[in-house]
A and B are shown apart, each in its own frame.
Chain A
Amino acid sequence: MNAVLDFATDFLGTVATTVFDVLPILAILVVFQVVVLRRRVQNLRSIVAGFLCVLLGLALFLIGLERALFPIGETMARQLTEAAAAPGAAVDWRDYILVYAFAAAIGFAATIAEPPLIAVALKAQKVSGGAISAWGLRIAVAVGVAVGVSLGCFRIVTGTPLPWYIVAAYVVVIVQTFRASRTIIPLAYDSGGVTTSTVTVPVVAALGLGLAANVPGRSPLIDGFGLIAFASVFPIMSVLGYAAVVSLIQRLGKGGNAAGSNDQTRGTELNPS
């Protein structure tokens, strides 16, 4: 009974604070609709119902976040580091293989099923005239996220500065950009943004913070953040790399007898050497 009561007060409190999170976007849309565009708001009832759904849904999600998603990430980080490290010994990054494996598995699994990514992949297939397959792109992005999160955990364990990795990744992306086809560039840049979903972000963030708290000598404040940054940058790299490999294979395999639609994409994809 007590637990139910606790839950109810928790829920009502969260709903009350959530109102202020959702109100701005609603106000902005209504003001622009009514005052600026001078149009009537149609389907007022379904908008009000929708607003209530958003409110309740966000409140429930935030409660679940506190009770499930954060604790899951923290618990996994703690149990994996306990399993790995000999207490008292100096930190050796090789002891934490399990952590990297777990990070890669979470990154890959969460990304491959991501609905926005599926949509982007299908569009990429269309833009490239079939040269880039939707499945290939999804796997490229998922591998990018897996490698990124895994490397991010390695960084936390070793305590090396985050900017080194991210700036180095930027440099690689810039070099790749100059060699890539113009059509794939916006898609590649966006694939970094769409991979980090509402469910994945809290789990991955908690994993990083938990790791920094449990590995001796690391501070959550300095070392704990950054996993999401890795998960955002590495897919850009892997998508650009995938596109480059595809066009290289095409050039080697097909020689001169490529179809017309492919010519257009391939012509800009690689500078003739």
Chain B
Amino acid sequence: MAIALAIGKRLRDALRDLAPIVLVIAFFQAVVLQQPFPNLGNVLVGLVCVVVGLALFIQGLESGLFPIGESIAEAFAHKGSATLLLAFAFCLGFGATVAEPALIAIAAEAAEVAAEAGVIAGDDDARLSYAFNLRMVVATSVGFAIVLGVLRILKGWPIHRLIITGYVLVTILTVFAPDEIVGVAYDAGGVTTSTITVPLVTALGVGLATSIKGRDPMLDGFGLIAFACGMPVIFVLAYGMVM
């Protein structure tokens, strides 16, 4: 009974996420374009899948993964060696990013586009391995980003210097990276931080900042996400150069 109620609430949340997009599209279709939407039945089935899938996904995270993640983050924040804490930070960033739905979507799309343009071979194997490698690079970069963010909280470094250094690095790498990776790299920053990563990483940041004297939980808990946004751009650009 309780779980049915909880899933009902998640369904409502997922609908609320989707509603603005559907409304805008419906408006443009009905008022501006006045064209029939092709394959409408298939799309509607897909939308139902999105809503139900998102609801189940988030409910599962809330009841299963988030409680352990939060309790471990808290335990590490209060005691334990710095090495283990950093190891945990890396693993958390890496693991959460691998499971991020938006990244799975973008990696698949990038592989499709690269195959059509002839940058990689057109068969399924080449596409899958391209998408997989891209996701691994992004996940590794988020791992490092969280490590850096935790170090920042421990040492009290000011956030804007690190971010500006990151911007400068991105600018320099862009000059040398091949054109076809630049768009994907810039987009990689935005997709890493959604459903799974934000709550887990915020729990770690807030837990740490609360337990260390002189740190503001509100400010230091936040900075981690900004790093997780910037680091993938640098890593994917570098990956494009090495490839």
Q: A43-B67, A61-B54, A83-B33 are in contact. Are A167 and B174 (CB under 8 A)?
A: yes
Contact B219 A183 (CB under 8 A): yes
A47 and B46 contacting across the interface, CB-CB below 8 Å: no
Alpha-carbon separation in the docked complex, A115 to B194 (Å): 11
| Shortest distance from the beta carbon of A77 to any chain B beta carbon, whole Å | 12
Is residue B64 within 8 Å, beta carbon to beta carbon, of the partner chain?
A: yes
Partner of A231, one of B35, B38, B184, B190: B190
Bits for B160-190, please: 1 = Cβ < 8 Å to A, else 0.
1001100100110010000110111011011
Interface residue? B4 (CB, 8 A): no
* Cross-chain contact of B53 among A51, A58, A196 (Cβ < 8 A): A58
Considering the complex, give the chain A residue whose CB is closest to the CB of B163.
A189
Complex Cα distance, B219 from A126, in Å, reads 12
CB atoms of B102 and A54 under 8 A apart: no
A30 touches B50 (CB 8 A): no
Tell me if A270 is interfacial: C-beta within 8 Å of chain B: no
Q: Does B119 contact A (CB under 8 A)?
A: yes
Asked whether A50 lies within 8 Å of B33 as measured between CB atoms, the reply is no
- Does B18 sit at the interface, judged by CB under 8 A? yes
Residue of A nearest to B166 (CB): A170
Number of interface residues of A (CB under 8 A): 104
Task: Identify whether the interface residues of B are mostly helix, strand, loop, or mixed.
Answer: helix
CB proximity to A under 8 Å, residues B19-71: 19-21, 23-25, 27-28, 32-33, 35, 37-39, 42-65, 67-69, 71
Contact A185 B160 (CB under 8 A): yes
- Taking CB atoms and an 8 Å cut-off, the chain A residues in 44-78 that contact chain B are 46-72, 75-76
Kindly provide the distance from the CB of A188 to the nearest chain B CB, expressed in whole angstroms.
9
Question: Do A79 and B65 touch across chains, with their CB atoms under 8 A apart?
Answer: no
A249 at the interface (CB under 8 A from B): no
A176-203 at interface with B (beta carbon < 8 Å)? 177, 183, 185-187, 189-190, 192-194, 196-203
B141 at the interface (CB under 8 A from A): no
- The chain A residues found within 8 Å of chain B, CB to CB, are 21-22, 24-30, 32-33, 36-37, 39, 41, 43, 46-72, 75-76, 79-80, 83, 98, 102, 105-106, 109-110, 112-116, 120, 123, 126-127, 162-163, 166-167, 170, 173-174, 177, 183, 185-187, 189-190, 192-194, 196-203, 205-206, 209, 219-229, 231-232
**Given contact pairs A64-B50, A197-B195, A225-B186, a sample of 4 additional A-B residue pairs in the complex whose CB atoms are under 8 Å apart:** A28-B92, A47-B63, A162-B186, A170-B167
